[in-house]
Structure 1
Amino acid sequence: MTLSRTASSTRSSIAAGRRHSVGVRSDGSVVTAGIPEAPECGVGTWNNIVAVAAGNVHTFSNTGRSHTVGLRADGTVLAVGWNGDGQCDVADWAGVVGIAAGWRRTLSVLADGTVRAVGRDKEGAADVGTWSEIVDIAAGDWHSVGLRADGTVVAAGSNRRGQCRVTGWRNVRAVAAGYLHTVAVTEDGRVHVAGDPSCGGVAVSDWRDVSRVSAGSYHTVAVDIRGRVWAAGHNSHGQCDVSSWRDVVAVAAGSTHTLGLRGDGVVLAAGNNDDGQCDTTKWQIRRR
């Protein structure tokens, strides 16, 4: 199968969870920021990694535990961290071209455009077995989103705030999923949002020339083609204080913090740093 798009958002060099951040270095090793002894930060032996994903934790969950996922160049997948729902059971995966991690759940896009999921499925967010021609995926807390090669979008899982109402979207090139909202970038650089408006959905209607987007628990972050960063939504920890960032090529939104990858490989961070998840400025990682 020849797909018209590539899994760009799922091949990220940076990822933000609830209490940790993850980055891929140019040599394929992985660096984390957060609580050093936390299981989700146990990536010191990983190698040959080309993309990472950080499992978020439901904002109101009584546990701070999460997980980290890494995609290797050979199409296999590694995972460490909390595995209470089997979200780290990825050892038998192969032929993977993209990954995403949500709350107690891990997703992957295979080279043939199909999708696999492990972990929590109480809300139906892992019911992706019938999806086809998928080139990009995103994992929110209770829902999953897939971008088809034709630019349309599918979603599965909780729709309590309308976060799965994406069937009318067209000409989409990237997707992201947060706690109760879904975000998409169209081919002309505009942004679609579905779900809870308190997550910044209302404030993105005037964003233009967007190249990449990420959804946190209650905020939305995007970078435009000039390397400027936009943010909307809750800013209780300063996670939206990114307007001064420049030369950014990728962004990642966690629960209450935001990361930005600059063109020179430096990773910027804003927001909650209670666990050291924003201690990333000394990183030097690859540009993707």
Structure 2
Amino acid sequence: MAAGRRHSVALRQDGAVLATGNNRAGECSIDQWSAITSVAAGNVHAARNTGRSHTVGLRADGTALATGNNQRGQCSVASWSGLQAIAAGQLHTVGLRTDGTVVATGDQRSGACEVQNWNAVTTLCAGSQHTVALRSDGMVLATGDNSFGQCNVGS
């Protein structure tokens, strides 16, 4: 399951996806999705008050699909492959490949998509405007908006 600001998404055992809530940007338009193994819901910040979010799905074949607000390119995941995990932030989406590398798309202004040199990653998550990952050696990586110290993970 995943929850955005104004929508909720659930994954059924058969790989189908359910969504409910605000569909202003099409974030709940998942009726044709199938063979999904994981879902993520982007969360647009309240100060922007646009009510527009996005939803991302990871397919069983390691590809991704997305729907909803694509204002900053956060739904541009059609070319991704070899994925084992996905996460959605405010205006960005990240994917973890089976080889431990990370891909990202969306808002470039915050730095949340600056993951091209990351490797040996085992898990990742997306905050509003930052991305955090755990490497196989126990090191934690973070990039993006650090206004509140959310990327101070060096120790």
Category of TM-score, reference length = shorter chain: over 0.9
Counterpart selection for 1:27 from 7, 11, 14: 14
The CA deviation string for residues 180-234 of structure 1, in whole angstroms up to 9 with x for no partner, is: xxxxxxxxxxxxxxxxxxxxxxxxxxxxxxxxxxxxxxxxxxxxxxxxxxxxxxx
Task: Report the counterpart of residue 91 of structure 2 in structure 1.
Answer: 104
C-alpha contact 2:22 2:51 (8 A) present in aligned 1: no
Counterpart selection for 1:71 from 58, 61, 66: 58
Shift of 1:37: 6.3
User: Which runs of structure 2 are paired with 1:30-69 in the superposition (5 Å)?
Assistant: 30-35=17-22, 38-69=25-56
CA distance in structure 1 between the aligned counterparts of 2:48 and 2:130, rounded to whole angstroms: 16
Size of the alignment, in residue pairs? Answer: 155
C-alpha contact 2:91 2:129 (8 A) present in aligned 1: no
Any gaps of 5 or more consecutive residues in structure 1? 1-13, 169-288
Is 1:166 the counterpart of 2:149? The answer is no
Secondary structure at the residue paired with 1:60? Answer: helix
TM-score, length-scaled by structure 1: 0.53
CA distance in structure 2 between the aligned counterparts of 1:36 and 1:81, rounded to whole angstroms: 8
Q: Which amino acid aligns with 1:63?
A: T
Q: Which amino acid aligns with 1:42?
A: S
Q: Which amino acid aligns with 1:40?
A: E
**After TM superposition, where is structure 1 displaced by more than 6 Å over at least 4 residues in a row?**
none
Secondary structure at the residue paired with 1:40? Answer: coil
C-alpha contact 2:121 2:136 (8 A) present in aligned 1: yes
CA distance in structure 2 between the aligned counterparts of 1:33 and 1:149, rounded to whole angstroms: 36
Identity %: 53
CA distance in structure 1 between the aligned counterparts of 2:136 and 2:59, rounded to whole angstroms: 23
User: Which runs of structure 2 are paired with 1:129-144 in the superposition (5 Å)?
Assistant: 129-144=116-131
User: Which runs of structure 2 are paired with 1:172-187 in the superposition (5 Å)?
Assistant: none
Larger Rg: 1
Please provide the CA RMSD for this pair: 1.1
User: Which runs of structure 2 are paired with 1:225-244 in the superposition (5 Å)?
Assistant: none
Secondary structure at the residue paired with 1:113? Answer: coil
TM-score, length-scaled by structure 2: 0.96
CA distance in structure 2 between the aligned counterparts of 1:131 and 1:36, rounded to whole angstroms: 34
The CA deviation string for residues 154-180 of structure 1, in whole angstroms up to 9 with x for no partner, is: 000111111111111xxxxxxxxxxxx
Task: Report the counterpart of residue 85 of structure 1 in structure 2.
Answer: 72
CA distance in structure 1 between the aligned counterparts of 2:25 and 2:49, rounded to whole angstroms: 16
CA distance in structure 1 between the aligned counterparts of 2:108 and 2:25, rounded to whole angstroms: 25
